Amino acid sequence: MKEGISGKAIYRKDYTAYPWDVNRLDLHFEIGSETTVVRAQMEFQLKDGTKSPQAIVLNGSDLQLVSITLNDRVLSGEEYIIEGETLTIPDAPQNCVLRTEVKIHPASNSALEGLYLSGQFLLTQCEAQGFRKITWFPDRPDVMTTYRVTLEADQSEFPVLLSNGNLVDAGELTGGRHWVRWEDPFPKPTYLFALVAGDLALVEDHFTTRSGRDVVLRIYVEAENLDRCEHAMESLVNAMRWDEERFDLEYDLDIYHIVATNDFNMGAMENKSLNIFNSKYVLARPDTATDADYQGIEGVIGHEYFHNWTGNRVTCQDWFQLTLKEGLTVFRDEEFSADMQSRAVKRIRDVRDLRSRQFPEDDGPMAHPIRPDHYVEINNFYTATVYQKGATIIRMYHTLLGEDGFQKGMKLYFERHDGQAVTCDDFLAAMADANGVNLDRFSLWYSQSGTPQVHVSDHYDAATQRYTLKLKQHTPPTHEQKSKQALVLPFALGLLAANGDELPLQFEAEADAATGTRLLIVEEAEQEFIFINIPEAPVPSLFRDYSAPVKVFFDYSPEQLATLIAHDSDAFVRWDAAQRMAEDAILKQCLAHAQGLEMTLDPSLVRAFKGILSDQQADPALLAEAMTLPDEDYLADQMDVVDVDGIHAARKFIKKGLAVELVSLLTARFAKLNDGQPYQKSATAMARRSLKSICLSYLLETSAGESLAATQLESSDNMTDTLAAIKGLILMDSPLAATALSEFESRWKADALVMDKWFIMQAIKPGRKTVDTVRKLMDHPAFSIQNPNKVRSLIGVFSMLNPTGFHTADGSGYTFHADRVIELDGLNPQIAARMASAFNRWKRYDESRKALMKAELQRIAAVDNLSGDVAEIVNNALR
Ligand code: BES
Ligand code: ZN
């Protein structure tokens, strides 16, 4: 039975080592779009100390077996067993050579896993378990071997033939065919295998490593995209240099290839020396890509490059350990981007992302620890928890041990485990041993799910000048794990005087006071910290730089928040204080709205935002973050029963109110930023554009906005300004929006990536009519349900980023979406499962919406032959 179809869970505790070493894998591909013939030869050797005889168990899926031989003898049908996705040879000799030949059919592979067709070229995606769709083999990450790959194809149809490692030989054949042979000297698991075959153009550059190795860098794209690779190449060179400087890690081969495809389930993939990227994370030109796209490319190029050490050289023992490579590599890419751009802005964006994507996961039916204990379909566990929360846990090691201690740990990790497939425990042990510390209690972060809540209270005693801070931590139960324990929390603290000065901190036992942030450790369910010689009741600046991934509760007065916003030395705390103030204001008005009361604007919020906007010293990108109101989903998470329309109305009311109050400041700031200078890619220019865009979005709430947006659209020389203007016109329901959209469409209709933006702008428009727009857009020639980027842009954005559209009271959004999940399930189960998760939080809505969503979930669950991917999501949601 297929793992997915049987719906059977796999448990981490059931791990057993594979009894065989595979010493070499020789692959031969006769490439064809309709049919590709794959011949594999592998050398099996029983592991030392394993009792014999042993069976050889291989994985395969949708393979048409042509022949199988063992030590040159053809096996008869009685000598092996194929059952579901496994092929078993019951008792095999201790040393043997297995040969297989299979046929596969790339052109009809719509799941985009294994070997498939994208436009005119063929490519592979093997993580996590796609290799089994290519040939019979132990498809698990702890079986590592060296690959020799020969690709044979028609020369004119497939002039470029790529695989991992070094090109060792090539030649021509009769009938217009040719072949190329690649060898990868590094043993690797199946999930890192890749091949690409087709007619691709390339951009080339070089990088000389610190030790003097010359590395050829090539980015392969379809010919029309050659002028959009510069930024990706620059990002790659920066990433290679950064990893040498910050982590002392050098690249280890002579070639580094990146291939861009429009048809990709994920963002990008780190195959050894042959990364494959969603074109969204490669292609950029100022007129086609926004600043956010540029930053995304830098981050993802970095991420996949950094996997070469954290993932490829040291890989995962099993898929439960996924965060070992992903959490660590996300931490590395976050640090890379922080070093390249603005550290503070990057940190704020990452925290926002964690709160809006990971916190809901912890609070829903798919809650799991960063290292899950079981799964049905591993593809469903490439989650914000494994990735983003995983990265915050790596960040906590860094906070606790410091940069030097952390790097010592990394060094020991590579010394011990280079070339191995290991576990999260091995990583923790390396960190602990390298620093001579005990991290046993810290390990709970790997096994406990849920978002800890920390309730902070304080007391100031003027007579003794003592200040007491009391912290209580508590993690609410998650659906799969009822009882929780106290976690180790790095607690970075500062105290401010009312005038904003930082107060020196001194414990009773200490002789001297120290100014600046103090790193404390919370380990117990309840803990108290007492500071002495505190001259006035201070404002606590809690969890600076977001030192632990927790929800912090403290009853700040508006004045205290204002002090933090205006004066705290920590950019994260300043931003967070502004978010809290805005959140409180919006939720209060939401309540008023629900009670039929008139909404009002709190003057303290206006004062705080006035202060932010008047700050001429601060990085404009930071100000832009501070002025961005919490999004509707984040606000929804703060309510017991989500009031979709109330949140929308209250947020809009506050935004408009601020805009009206601050209109002259906004106009002046916008005018100053709108300096008519030609586009520049620099971080400074991006920062200015980000503040300009947010100012415009406020101004669009006033009568001044429409003409500013129209002028910006007309004079724009870059996609960031263009999109800010059109989005604004759409949101305000301007009569100019329709023209703007149709001009955009006629200019970009042949450009897949830019058309994604055109779909997004329309799918995100609030209100009950959007479901009809989205339904109509599915018939647009640029839309294809087979293409994940299109599905994410239209269907995904509508269902996950447009609350008032999706949650329309009559349930039409739900029905539409469930139909798409069912349609997608037959084509691409991975994408279908991602889409199905839009219903995950159905229990948090009112009775009527709950009933409507539940009915749609049940309708999906009842589909015949539903994939294991979708079944796991909907069954969990219904449970
Ligand atoms: N290894 C993953 C890509 C992957 C995940 C392929 C799951 C197949 C199944 C890659 O390193 C990755 O994590 N990519 C991210 C982007 C990254 C910047 C977080 C992605 O694709 O979303
Ligand atoms: Zn990754």
The first and second tokens of residue 745, run together, are 């469409």
pLDDT of 873 strictly over 80: yes
The CA R_g of the chain, rounded to the nearest whole Å, is 28
pLDDT of 4 strictly over 90: no
Measured from the Cβ of residue 729, the count of other Cβ atoms closer than 10 Å reads 25
pLDDT of residue 3: 42
Q: How far is the CA of 381 from the centre of ligand 1 (A)?
A: 11
Q: How far is the CA of 363 from the centre of ligand 2 (A)?
A: 24
Rounded CA-CA distance 656/653 in Å is: 5
* DSSP string of 252-265, one letter each residue: -SSEEEEEEES--S
**Ligand showing the shortest atom-to-Cα distance for residue 275:** 1
Q: How far is the CA of 294 from the centre of ligand 2 (A)?
A: 18
pLDDT of 533 strictly over 70: yes
* Strand ranges of the sheet holding 73-74, from the earlier edge strand across to the other edge: 73-74, 64-70, 95-104, 36-46, 20-30, 145-154, 177-188, 166-172
pLDDT of 559 strictly over 80: yes
Q: With left for phi above 0 and alpha for psi between -120 and 50, is residue 529 left, alpha or beta?
A: beta
Query: Which of 841, 879, 827, 875 lies closest to 7 in space, CA to CA?
Result: 875
Rounded CA-CA distance 34/31 in Å is: 9
Task: State whether the beta carbon of 303 lies less than 6 angstroms from ligand 1.
Answer: yes
Per DSSP, the three-state class of 504 is coil
pLDDT of residue 6: 53
The dihedral through the CA atoms of 50, 51, 52, 55 has a sign that is negative
Give catalytic residue positions: 304
Rounded CA-CA distance 859/823 in Å is: 13
Rounded CA-CA distance 818/572 in Å is: 39
Task: State whether the beta carbon of 877 lies less than 6 angstroms from ligand 1.
Answer: no
Task: State whether the beta carbon of 625 lies less than 6 angstroms from ligand 1.
Answer: no
pLDDT of 393 strictly over 80: yes
Q: Phi and psi for 187 in degrees, rounded to 5?
A: -60, 140
Strand bridging mode 255-261 / 214-221: parallel
* Strand ranges of the sheet holding 526-531, from the earlier edge strand across to the other edge: 526-531, 466-474, 453-461, 551-553
In this structure, the residue with its CA closest to atom 2 of ligand 1 is: 269
Q: What is the rounded average pLDDT of the residues 764-781?
A: 98
In this structure, the residue with its CA closest to atom 1 of ligand 1 is: 269
Q: How far is the CA of 551 from the centre of ligand 2 (A)?
A: 26
| Ligand 1 mutation pick, 113, 190, 269, 275, max ligand atoms within 8 A of CB | 269
* Cβ atoms of 204 and 215 closer than 8 Å: no
Digit-coded pLDDT (tens) for 467-526:
999 999 999 999 999 999 999 999 999 999 999 999 999 999 999 999 999 999 999 999
Task: State whether the beta carbon of 269 lies less than 6 angstroms from ligand 1.
Answer: yes
Rounded CA-CA distance 781/751 in Å is: 12
Query: Which of 798, 801, 802, 835 lies closest to 818 in space, CA to CA?
Result: 835
Digit-coded pLDDT (tens) for 244-281:
999 999 999 999 999 999 999 999 999 999 999 999 99
pLDDT of residue 206: 98
pLDDT of residue 52: 85
Q: How far is the CA of 597 from the centre of ligand 1 (A)?
A: 47
| Ligand 1 mutation pick, 113, 190, 235, 266, max ligand atoms within 8 A of CB | 266
Query: Which of 660, 796, 802 lies closest to 731 in space, CA to CA?
Result: 802
Residue type, 599: M
Task: State whether the beta carbon of 355 lies less than 6 angstroms from ligand 1.
Answer: no
- From residue 853, give the alpha-carbon distance in Å to each of 717, 845, 874: 44, 9, 11
DSSP structure class, residue 84: T
Task: State whether the beta carbon of 545 lies less than 6 angstroms from ligand 1.
Answer: no
The set of long-range contacts for 210-217, using a CB threshold of 8 Å and a minimum separation of 24, is: 210/244, 210/250, 211/250, 213/250, 213/251, 213/254, 214/254, 215/240, 215/251, 215/253, 215/254, 215/255, 215/256, 216/254, 216/255, 216/256, 217/256, 217/258
* Cβ atoms of 89 and 70 closer than 8 Å: yes
Task: State whether the beta carbon of 270 lies less than 6 angstroms from ligand 1.
Answer: yes
| Ligand 1 mutation pick, 304, 312, 828, max ligand atoms within 8 A of CB | 304
Q: How far is the CA of 317 from the centre of ligand 1 (A)?
A: 18
pLDDT of 5 strictly over 70: no
pLDDT of 12 strictly over 90: yes
Q: Phi and psi for 171 in degrees, rounded to 5?
A: -170, 170
Q: Phi and psi for 176 in degrees, rounded to 5?
A: 75, 20
Rounded CA-CA distance 620/492 in Å is: 26
843 Cβ contact partners less than 8 Å away, ≥ 6 residues apart? 850
In this structure, the residue with its CA closest to atom 21 of ligand 1 is: 267
pLDDT of residue 7: 73
Measured from the Cβ of residue 294, the count of other Cβ atoms closer than 10 Å reads 20
Nearest atom in ligand 1 to 304's CA: 11
